[in-house]
A and B are shown apart, each in its own frame.
Chain A
Amino acid sequence: MRFNEKEMVHLSRQPSEMVAELGMRGPKKGDVVKRRLVKLVVNFLFYFKTDEEEPVGALLLEQCRVEKEDNLTFSVAFLEDAERKYLFECDSEEQCEKWIDSIIKASYEFMRRNLIFYRTEIHRLTGKDPLEQYGISDEARFQVTNGLQHSSRDASSM
């Protein structure tokens, strides 16, 4: 599967509040803890070998579960297999909790839900749609959904 790698590497260099060297362990049985510079940019978790310019990898932080494992460790689990966890060891409990909080709130889906909440509430309380001033009221992405997949499909089949 192809992806815009150069742009991703460029993205990984953007400033971020959440950057730290953590002990990172992969989900497979044989995986060991490795020191990695972990960086949260938009909804991706990049991890670098210390002092390297290009990240080793990137994890998309959508449809994932972030949990506290113990005082210093948090985990990020993907897919339905909750046992496949990426583990991150922090230096303090405070740091650990801050990472958990930041990762949850970086998720696009989380942010979208919040936006829809505010939009609905502001509209309810003022009678005005706050997205109207931006001309994006009809965009599918900002509509209230009932949790099921909906899509804006084109009529043309080209």
Chain B
Amino acid sequence: MKLHKKILTHYQSCTSPVDKEGYLSKKKQRNGSYHRRWSVLKANLLFYQERPADRHLLGVIVLEGCDVRRADADGRFGFCLLFQGPEPKSYQFAAGDEVTLESWLRALRSASHSYLSLLLQNLHIQYQEVKQHQGSGDSSPSNLNLGPAPSPPPPSSSSGLWSSSVIIKKSPKPWHKWNTHVTPLNVPTVPSYAEWPLVGSNPQEEFRVLHELYGQEIKKARERWLTSRQPPEENIQEDLIDLT
């Protein structure tokens, strides 16, 4: 399959926003050795090259349908991009330190087009509701000076999700609420009509995207929990019953 490289090369170097860039160690697929690569994350694409100034790109990884996971197997601050499919494939990387690793994990997890599409749908709905409430004269603490609002560019994506008007149930459960240092989230007002996801043209795809979205929350919460957990107490090692 031909991937038009000039288009990609141009996109990598043009002025569109760079979502993250930096050096990463990338594991070679063939011989398992790690090589330092300047990596640039833009949209749902992870580009890599030898040095920042290089015009020649070594490669690009399209980040659709991949799982981003910590992978400490090689004893570094490692992560991998895991693609499920007919032939599961994993791309291994390592960062220089924990902070950098976490930053890349966050950036990569929110990189896919499907993720953005889902977020956009949610915000579109929220926006419409907010406008509705504003219009009906609901008192809101914020700005009441409503001039003629600019009509937003109607967003839609080419996947079946938009045209079938999928409505996602409001506000995924705040999984991280059990962290007592976080103030409770404000749950958006419940709309007056029941909201259930309508079946679009491909329920499997919709579920996968929803699962991914909520799954990321859980992953974050789990990681936070793992790092904040107290070390097990010594006396658990002892027998509960003294048989001597």
Most buried by A among B6, B17, B59, B97: B17
Are A7 and B1 in contact, CB atoms less than 8 angstroms apart?
no
Cβ–Cβ contact A112 & B116, under 8 A? yes
B58, A63: Cβ atoms under 8 Å? no
Instruction: Decide yes or no: A63 and B116 within 8 Å by CB, A4-B61, A56-B1, A152-B21 being known contacts.
Output: no
Q: Indicate the size class of the contact surface on chain B.
A: 35 or more
Q: Contact check: which of B2, B9, B15, B185 meets A149 at CB < 8 Å? A: B15
Contact B4 A58 (CB under 8 A): yes
Asked if A59 CB lies within 8 Å of chain B CBs, one says yes
Q: Are A4 and B83 in contact (CB under 8 A)?
A: yes
* B69 CB within 8 Å of chain A: no
Is A95 part of the contact surface with B, judged by Cβ < 8 Å? no
Q: A153 touching B21 by the CB < 8 A rule?
A: yes
Closest to A76 in B: B7
Q: Is the CB of B6 within 8 A of A79?
A: yes
Contact of B15 among A42, A57, A135, A148 (CB under 8 A): A148
Does A134 contact B7, Cβ atoms closer than 8 Å? no
13 A-B residue pairings within 8 Å (CB atoms): A1-B58, A2-B58, A5-B1, A42-B114, A55-B1, A59-B4, A62-B11, A105-B158, A108-B116, A118-B152, A134-B213, A156-B100, A158-B36
- The 8 A CB mask of A6-28 against B (1 = contact, 0 = none) is 11111110111110000000000
Q: Of B15, B16, B122, B155, which is within 8 A of A114 by CB?
A: B155
Q: Using A10-B86, A139-B110, A153-B22 as known contacts, say yes or no to A125 and B130 having CB atoms under 8 A apart.
A: yes
Q: A39 to chain B: closest CB distance in Å?
A: 10
**Complex Cα–Cα for A155 and B62 (A):** 25
CA distance A3 to B59 in the complex (A): 6
Cβ-closest chain B residue relative to A138: B106
Across-interface contacts of A105 in B (CB, < 8 A)? 155-158
Give the residues in chain A near B87, CB-CB below 8 Å.
6
- List of 7 A-B pairs having minimum Cβ-Cβ separation, nearest first: A154-B22, A2-B59, A57-B2, A151-B18, A42-B113, A108-B43, A118-B123
- A82 within 8 Å of B (CB atoms): no
A43→B19 contact, CB < 8 A: no
B58 touches A140 (CB 8 A): no
Q: Is the CB of A111 within 8 A of B1?
A: no
B83 to chain A, nearest CB (A): 5
> How far is A117 from B124 in the complex, measured between Cα atoms in Å?
10
Known: A109-B43, A124-B143, A139-B107. A40 touches B158 (CB 8 A): yes
Q: Spell out A's residues near B (CB within 8 Å).
A: 1-12, 14-18, 40-44, 54-60, 62-64, 78-79, 102-103, 105-106, 108-115, 117-119, 121-122, 124-128, 130-136, 139-142, 145, 147-158
- Give min CB distance, A64 to chain B, whole Å: 8
- Cβ of B80 within 8 Å of any chain A Cβ, yes or no, is no
Interface membership of B96, Cβ < 8 A: yes
- A-contacting residues, B144-200, CB 8 Å: 152-153, 155-160, 163, 171-172, 174, 176, 185-186, 188
Complex contact A111–B117 (CB within 8 A): yes
Decide: B123 and A78 in contact? CB cutoff 8 A: no
Q: For B3, what are the chain A residues with a Cβ–Cβ distance below 8 Å?
A: 1, 3, 5, 8, 57-58, 60
Q: Tell which of A56, A78, A140 touches B20, judged by Cβ atoms closer than 8 Å.
A: A140
Tell me if A122 and B117 are in contact (CB < 8 A).
Answer: no
- Assuming the contacts A60-B4, A122-B127, A154-B23, asked whether A136 and B58 have C-beta atoms less than 8 A apart, the reply is no
